[in-house]
Amino acid sequence: MKTLLGGLRSRILLLVLCVGLIPVSISGFIFFHFYERLGTAPDVVSITSEAQLLSNQIVTSGYLQDPSVESLNTQFSALSNIYTGRVIVCDASLKVIKDSYNIYEGRTFVWENAIRSLRGETTTLLDRDSHCIIVTVPILAGDSSEPHGVLLFTKSTEYLEQNSHFFMNLIFYLILVGAIISAITALLASERLTRPLRNLSQSLAQVQEEESPRILSISGTREVADITEKFNTILMRMKGIDDSRQEFVSNVSHELKTPLTSMKVLADSINSMGGDAPLELYQEFMADITTEIDRETKIINDLLSLVRMDRSGSSLNISSVNINELVEMILKRLRPIAEKQQIQLVLESFRPITAEIDEVKISLAISNLIENGIKYNSPQGFVHVSLNSDHRYCYIRVEDSGLGIPEEDIGRIFERFFRVDKSHSRKIGGTGLGLAITKNAIDMHHGQIQVHSVLGEGSCFDIRLPLNYIEDEREEKTNYKP
């Protein structure tokens, strides 16, 4: 978690820094890219218009033939001063007629831009080495499109460079200030944004150390509150599982101990008589011990069935089974027990049903229900089993005219070791595991079981099983009301 938070923090830091610095740097770059062009544009416009005015005068005054025209020479030297630069006048053969620096006069000025101007173009060049802009303009007169020569102006750009130094410094300081502000913001933001996570991490660490974990208080950002809430739900579920596991273990120990205690009491009583006990008493005690052993065996068998179901999870041994035949077999096996207790067993089958089930597990589930119907019944009562189906499901109903279940206990009868009347249930051989096994088996088939019972009148258990076994549980999560 520490490294995670460290990572998150540095990422937020980096992000805020980038968001703060990138726009300033990009604007600085764009500014410098366009600054020189924008800065020289007005000069180029004024030089060009000046040159156009002059070129007319040059042609009309015959300056190209005789460069001693005073008024023009004065203008050239004035312009040269104003521009802190140079004025060069060339004729049509690019021979320099006038150079305000008096260097090139009489020479032929062969330069690419001058040649282009001789063809009618106005050219501009920013010469960074000489710190000036050079503008060449064709000398035109009236409507004539044929240049008579070329006028060249240079203008110093030192004022631009001074300004650009100033702006460069300004932008540097802006970036620096931006970086400092971004760094402070980034630090504060990363600290603030990761604080709820750090708090959650601390609470989790406390939970880890505590033996009985407590619910975390829900605070922080919406996302953190959401995680905390989900964590609390998982925590409660785990606590529930742990509680029921502990309860199960203590129930198992208790249930297994009870028959052993009875056996020990019986054996001790016989022993204490030191061989003087009458034979009938021996026989009676031995019969009681056998009953307790049977009971212990039944509890262990039921427990094994449950554990096997829990462990095997979805590994069912699925095959196509004739449900009518299966129920008939179960009834055949249980009929002697029912007759012994004068309970009438009735099967009502509405149609032949074949379903994809684990025969052993479903058989155990149905047997448990019918056995309960017999066990918790009174003489002359009945257990009525009915079978039906539609295109998707098979419906099995086990109805009895027995004791019924109190309303407040109906919600608990599928719990392991739960018995409505412990002493009565124990007397008739109940372990409290039968319905838990039944429910497990039905759940594994993604089926549903419902119970309806009226105390003193009887109970009715309804099972719905999919005809075709489907591995994905979600497909069968529809509400079932028999």
Binding site for ligand ADP (CB under 6 A): 368, 372-373, 376, 400, 402-405, 413, 418-421, 425, 430-436, 459
Contact 100, 77 (CB under 8 A): yes
Of 31 and 418, nearer to ligand ADP (C-beta) is 418
Shortest gap between Cβ of 404 and ligand ADP (angstroms)? Answer: 6
Of 194 and 372, nearer to ligand ADP (C-beta) is 372
Query: How many Å separate Cα 135 from the centre of its chain?
Result: 65
Shortest gap between Cβ of 429 and ligand ADP (angstroms)? Answer: 7
What is the largest distance, in Å, between two alpha-carbon atoms of the chain?
Answer: 165
How many Cα atoms occupy the beta-carbon half-sphere of 459 within 13 Å? 25
Of 368 and 389, nearer to ligand ADP (C-beta) is 368
Shortest gap between Cβ of 410 and ligand ADP (angstroms)? Answer: 9
Shortest gap between Cβ of 348 and ligand ADP (angstroms)? Answer: 18
Cβ neighbours of residue 318 under 8 Å, at least 6 residues apart?
356, 357, 358, 469
What is the helix (H) or strand (E) element at residue 459, kind and residue range?
strand 458-466
Of 192 and 424, nearer to ligand ADP (C-beta) is 424
Of 80 and 431, nearer to ligand ADP (C-beta) is 431
Shortest gap between Cβ of 475 and ligand ADP (angstroms)? Answer: 28
Distance between CA atoms of residues 264 and 333, nearest Å: 33
In 3D space, the residue among 137, 117, 121, 129 whose CA is nearest the CA of residue 156 turns out to be 129
Shortest gap between Cβ of 330 and ligand ADP (angstroms)? Answer: 15
Of 197 and 374, nearer to ligand ADP (C-beta) is 374
Distance between CA atoms of residues 148 and 302, nearest Å: 119
Distance between CA atoms of residues 210 and 205, nearest Å: 9
Of 135 and 374, nearer to ligand ADP (C-beta) is 374
Distance between CA atoms of residues 110 and 359, nearest Å: 108
Residue closest to ligand ADP (Cβ):
430
Shortest gap between Cβ of 256 and ligand ADP (angstroms)? Answer: 15
Of 216 and 362, nearer to ligand ADP (C-beta) is 362
Rg (CA), the chain: 52
Cβ neighbours of residue 451 under 8 Å, at least 6 residues apart?
405, 410, 413, 459, 460, 461, 462
Query: What tokens appear for 452 in the block?
Result: 């309806």
Query: What tokens appear for 45 in the block?
Result: 């416009």
Shortest gap between Cβ of 406 and ligand ADP (angstroms)? Answer: 9
Distance between CA atoms of residues 223 and 231, nearest Å: 12
